[in-house]
Structure 1
Amino acid sequence: MSERPQATPFRPTAVALDIDGTLIDHDEGLSPAVVDAVRRAAAQVPVILATGRAWSTTKPVAERFGLPAGGLVVVSNGARTLQYPDGDVLDERTFDPRTVIASVREHAPNARMAVEEHDGTYLVTAPFPDGDLGRHATIRVVSDAELAPEPVTRLIIRDPEQSEADFVVLAERLGLHGVGYFVGWTAWLDIAPEGVDKSTGLKVALAQYGLDASGLLAIGDGRNDIEMLRYAGHGVAMGAAPDEVKSAADEVTKSVSDDGVAAVLNRWF
């Protein structure tokens, strides 16, 4: 009887990395071990930051890791794919949020809402808790009517008085149609163009590199990483990720506080 052929061991040809809760902790702390591992990987294959952050708060992270110029980043949960460090937009997906804004006001009258402008400024209906939109983000308070005069890449809904569970229920009550959404760690809801997630931007980025998803190593910790982890040839969930994120991954690594990203990257780079 002939032996069955062995599967070819996975070898990354590109790496996609979430930022918050994956590369850095919630206090913006950065481990030297993770920095070293990411830099070694970036010297061998494309390393693509794939985040829910805006470009304005993603670029400083890429700079802290010393990612090479000419690389690509996926921001706004996949709605924008840009070139680093100049910010040239390769792909952008938008939607009209006015119906959602009206629905939020009906079902969550005290919620705060925000959208990103092209220059990285956040328009908000009321100030968000410190650091929620990035420590260095530029923020301008506007009325509901002034929030989205034109299509946007995403709408952020936040209510510090509510819980994560409350926002899971809110997402169901809003009756969202024609858009997608992601519930964050706290009372945070990201509304995105329909069918857009991090894998959307990664498809654009990989096409630019002439690569496909079979060689993509992706690491993340949030619900907005689920599609990315499933899309990648090898998806890795962080140790503190919710169970539904872990179940979407091929493996689970250690938490961000225990240098989980370094533990994975050191295997290949």
Structure 2
Amino acid sequence: MVRPLADDWSPRVVALDIDGTLLKWVDGPSDDYETISEPVYDAVHRALDAGAHIVLSSGRSPHGMTTIADLLHLPREGSDRLWVVASNGAVVFRYPPMEVVHEETFDAAPAVAAVLEHHPEALVAVEERGVGGYRVNRVFPEGELSGEQLITDVSDIVGEPVSRVIIRDPHATADDFIELAARLGLHGTDYVVGWTAWLDLSPVGVSKASGLQHVCDAIGGLGAADVLAIGDGRNDIEMLRWAGRGVAMGQSVDEVKAAADDVTATVHDEGAAVELTRWFPAR
């Protein structure tokens, strides 16, 4: 259902997903994958010119997000540090320099064991926060994780509380993981299934929406009603429902579109720029 907005409404916070929203998906790793198009770059800076707060909001680890901030030249020289919501809301940090201001952790061991019982060949990863790499049980396919991958026993990977666990089975499908998560219940955790057989396990109640709420509280005087959120993945559903205006990218799956107030063009047709231009037109 589309929520009505006041006639004079304008976003005071713009929450932007990265992969599939700011960045165009490509088949396989590519040197030019992390490229911000001119229309998206210009639209983001028009929002800044109008006084809006830009918040990057992604399932990526913190170290996988700072390069995107740099590509967008955020923050501007002389401006306050950027707010960033990482790891699907489990980590909130300021940049630069990177300063984690909020982090949620949980005991992931039972959920990981339950998933591996059904997918014993699955890959497991936890970010080594502060280092930028990952502890993994086996190496992930090239281009899927940023930073060094340190081979570690699963018992040690989830031997202490973590903010997020990635489980990946290159031989399964997203539907396989959706069915498995529903069957297991994954008690004590929340989960998000990506475009492929990629499962993110996070603390209960933690999502991009909860991370953005933390940002709004910290800025002061702002709330969900002030936020324009744009995203394309299942991990964006809570954010799109929470924001005053949630917009799904044109290539999103139906359940993501259903959670949004509106659907913009696809990432290949500069959908993020199309939506931002609605509120921050070029002069």
**Which TM-score bucket, shorter chain as reference?**
over 0.9
Question: Secondary structure at the residue paired with 1:116?
Answer: strand
Aligned 8 A contact 2:36 2:72 in 1: no
Answering whether residue 57 of structure 2 is matched by residue 58 of structure 1, we say no
- Corresponding position of 1:140: 150
**Deviating runs (4+, > 6 A) in structure 1?**
none
Q: What residue number does 2:133 align with?
A: 121
The one of 52, 55, 61 equivalent to 1:48 is: 55
Structure 1 distance, partners of 2:275, 2:178, is: 31
| CA–CA distance in structure 2, aligned partners of residues 40 and 130 of structure 1 | 35
Specify which of 244, 267, 270 is matched with residue 259 of structure 1.
270
1:183 aligns with 2:167: no
Partner of 1:247: 258
Taking the TM superposition and a 5 Å limit, the aligned residue runs for 1:71-110 are 71-110=82-121
In structure 2, runs of 5+ residues without a counterpart are 27-32
Correspondence for 2:225 among 200, 214, 218: 214
What residue is the counterpart of 1:30 in the other structure? 36
Using the TM superposition, give the Cα deviation of residue 88 of structure 1 relative to its aligned residue in structure 2, in angstroms. Answer: 1.0
Contact 2:174 2:193 in 1 (8 A): yes
Query: 1:67, 1:42 → 2: CA distance?
Result: 10
The aligned counterpart of 2:15 is 16
Q: Distance in 1 between matches of 2:81 and 2:249?
A: 28
Give the distance between the partners of 1:259 and 1:201, measured in 2 at CA.
26
User: Contact 1:107–1:173 (CA<8 Å) still a contact in 2?
Assistant: no
| Matches of 2:235 and 2:137, distance apart in 1 | 24
Give the secondary structure class of the aligned counterpart of 1:47: strand
Q: CA deviation at 1:151?
A: 0.5
How far off its partner does 1:153 sit?
Answer: 0.4
Q: Compute the TM-score of the two structures, normalised by the length of structure 1.
A: 0.94
Offset of residue 98 of structure 1: 1.1
Please give the root-mean-square deviation of Cα atoms over the aligned residues, in Å.
Answer: 1.4
Query: TM-score of the superposition, structure 2-length normalised?
Result: 0.89
> Would the aligned equivalents of 1:17 and 1:47 in 2 still touch at CA under 8 Å?
yes
Contact 1:167–1:183 (CA<8 Å) still a contact in 2? yes
Query: Deviations for 1:138-159, whole angstroms, at most 9, x for unmatched residues?
Result: 2211111221231100111101
Which letter does structure 1 place at the counterpart of 2:68?
A: V
2:247 aligned counterpart, secondary structure: strand
Q: How many residues align?
A: 262
Structure 1 alignment gaps of length 5 or more? 1-5
Matched, 1:236 2:247: yes
Identity %, equivalent residues: 49
Cα offset, 1:30, TM superposition: 2.6
